[in-house]
Structure 1
Amino acid sequence: MSDITEIVDSLENRVSRLLHKMEILKQANQKLTQKLADSEKAIQEKESVITDWEEKYNALKLANTMLGSSENKTETKLKINTLIREIDSCIAQLSE
C-alpha cells in the first residue's frame, strides 16, 4: 500500500509542477501577445508618418517643378492634365 501512496504522491507532485509551468507559460504568452500588439501599433503609426512625409515630399516636388525647376516637368504636366480632366468631368456632371 505504501508503494501506491508513493506513486500517487509522485504523480501529484508532477501534475502540480506541470500546472505551475503551464501557468508560467500562460503569463509569458500574455506578455508576448501584448508586446506584439504594441509593436504592431507602433508599426502602423510609423507607416502613417511615412505616408504623410511621402505626401509632403510629392507636394514639395510638384511645387518646385511649378516654380520653374526642370526636373519632373513631364510628371507635373501629366498631373496637371489629370486634374484638368477631373475638373472637366465634374463640370460635365454638374451640367447634366
Structure 2
Amino acid sequence: MNGLSELIDSLEVKFFKLNQKLVQLQKKNLELQEELLVSRRTQQNQSDEIASLEGQLDTLKMVNSLLGSEENKRETKLKINSLIREIDYCIAQLSD
C-alpha cells in the first residue's frame, strides 16, 4: 500500500505542476493575443498614414509643377488632361 500511496502523491504533484503550467501558458497566450492586436492596429495606422502622405506627395508634386517646376510638368499636364476628359464625360452624360 505504501508504494501505491507514493505513486498517488507523485501523480498529484505532477498534476499540480501541470495545472500551474497550463495557467501560465493561458496567461501568456492572452498577453500574446493582446500584443498581436496592438501590432495590427499599429500596422493599420501606419498604412493609413503612408497612404495619406503619398497623397500629399502627389499633391505637392502637382503644385510644384504648376508653380513652374520642370520636373513634374509633363505629369501634371497629363493629370489635368485626364480631369478635363472626366469633366467633359460628365457634362455629356448630363446633356443626354
TM-score bracket for the superposition, by shorter chain length? over 0.9
Size of the aligned set, in residue pairs, is 96
Identical residues among aligned pairs (%) = 46
Q: Which residue of 1 aligns with 2:88?
A: 88
Provide structure 2 residue ranges, at least 5 long, that are not aligned to the other structure: none
Question: Quick check: 2:64–2:72 contact (8 Å CA) kept in 1?
Answer: no
- The residue number in structure 2 matching 1:42 is 42
Runs of 4+ in 1 over 6 A off after TM superposition: none
* Per-residue deviation, residues 25-77 of structure 1 (Å, max 9, x unmatched): 11011001101111111111122112111111110110110111111111111
Deviation at 1:12, TM superposition (A): 1.3
Structure 2: distance between partners of 1:88 and 1:22: 68
Q: Does the CA contact (< 8 Å) of 2:65 and 2:71 recur in 1?
A: yes
C-alpha separation in 1, matches of 2:13 and 2:92: 82
Q: Give the unaligned 5+ runs of structure 1.
A: none
What letter matches 2:93 in structure 1?
Answer: Q
CA distance in 1 between counterparts of 2:49 and 2:88 reads: 33
